[in-house]
């Protein structure tokens, strides 16, 4: 029986992850720690002797840059990279740019947890008056998508992320996996969570407890039916990974990091 290897990776820490702001479709670069995380992820994959055949990324610089650094560390810079907006982070709508701890103070921690982790709650949509509306919709990268700009999301639940992601998964990624290719998907916390939900059959309730830290490769071994053969493996120092997960969860607490 053939088995397939798939790696999911949330990009290294971005500037706004550090500031505890919803980054979403804003094109922020990696922070100095994020650059290191991406290189560390590459070294971990190299130590495992993994040979990548193809990489898929979102069209956001933090996931593209992470993929480059991983490939460089693996000495596999030649590997083809395909980019799609369908792997972008969840569109956080009107919440984009806002600080999670301040939102928790204003709206309560429970509301922020629902916005961040519930499966089917869509945050309020981004309006044309939003400070980052032009930054997003006037960006040339969204003029070359497989849907007209007007049809791109204005806010998304995790469910909606999965819906926009599936056509790309089925049309572009799955055929490569079925050909036995080892694939890395360098994407985002919520686009990776949506894929994990799909692949592992995680319930709408239980997906709320799945958190991915930045820069930690997730190794999946799939059978011929694309079902996981064993539990997902988060690569790296397990204590540090647990600590990083706890930090991501606490970003939505009132005591989480505030804007200075």
Q: Which residues are catalytic?
A: 11, 89
89 is in an annotated binding site: yes
Query: Is the CB of 5 or the CB of 190 nearer to ligand DG2?
Result: 190
Minimum CB–partner distance for residue 90 and ligand DG2 (Å): 7
Minimum distance of ligand DG2 from residue 137's CB (angstroms): 17
169 close to 198: Cβ distance less than 8 angstroms: yes
Q: At what angle do helices 158-168 and 189-200 cross, to 10 degrees?
A: 80
Both structure tokens of 168:
């790309």
58: which 2 tokens? 């979102």
Whichever of 86 and 116 has its CB closer to ligand DG2, that residue is 116
Count the helices and strands in the chain (H runs, E runs).
10, 6
Q: Which two tokens mark 69?
A: 């650094």
Shortest Å, Cβ 230 to ligand DG2: 25
Q: Which residues in this chain contact ligand DG2 in the complex, by CB under 6 A? A: 10, 14, 17, 22-24, 89, 92, 116, 188-190, 248
* 169: exposed, middle or buried (Cβ count in 10 Å: 0-12, 13-18, 19+): buried
Q: Which is nearer to ligand DG2, 42 or 188 (CB)?
A: 188
- List residues forming the annotated binding site: 10-17, 62, 89-92, 116-117, 189-190
- List residues forming the annotated binding site for substrate: 10-17, 62, 89-92, 116-117, 189-190
């Amino acid at each position: 029986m053939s088995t397939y290897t798939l790696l999911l990776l949330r990009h290294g820490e971005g500037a706004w992850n550090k500031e505890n702001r919803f980054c979403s479709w804003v094109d922020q670069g990696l922070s100095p720690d994020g650059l290191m995380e991406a290189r560390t992820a590459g070294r971990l994959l190299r130590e495992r002797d993994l040979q990548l055949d193809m990489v898929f990324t979102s069209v956001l610089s933090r996931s593209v840059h992470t993929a480059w650094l991983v490939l460089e560390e693996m000495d596999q810079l030649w590997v083809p990279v395909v980019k799609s907006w369908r792997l972008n982070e969840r569109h956080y709508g009107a919440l984009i740019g806002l600080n999670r701890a301040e939102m928790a103070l204003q709206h309560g921690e429970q509301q922020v947890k629902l916005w961040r982790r519930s499966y089917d709650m869509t945050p309020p949509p981004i309006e044309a008056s939003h400070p980052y509306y032009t930054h997003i919709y006037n960006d040339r990268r969204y003029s070359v998508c497989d849907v007209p700009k007007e049809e791109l999301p204005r806010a998304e639940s995790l469910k909606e992320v999965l819906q926009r992601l599936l056509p790309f998964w089925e049309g572009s990624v799955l055929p490569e996996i079925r050909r036995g290719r080892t694939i890395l998907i360098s994407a985002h916390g919520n686009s990776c969570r949506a894929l994990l939900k799909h692949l592992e059959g995680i319930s709408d309730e239980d997906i709320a407890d799945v958190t991915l830290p930045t820069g930690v490769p997730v190794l999946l071994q799939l059978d011929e039916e694309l079902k996981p053969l064993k539990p997902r493996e988060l690569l790296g120092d397990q204590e540090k990974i647990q600590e990083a997960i706890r930090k991501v969860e606490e970003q939505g607490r009132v005591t989480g990091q505030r804007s200075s």
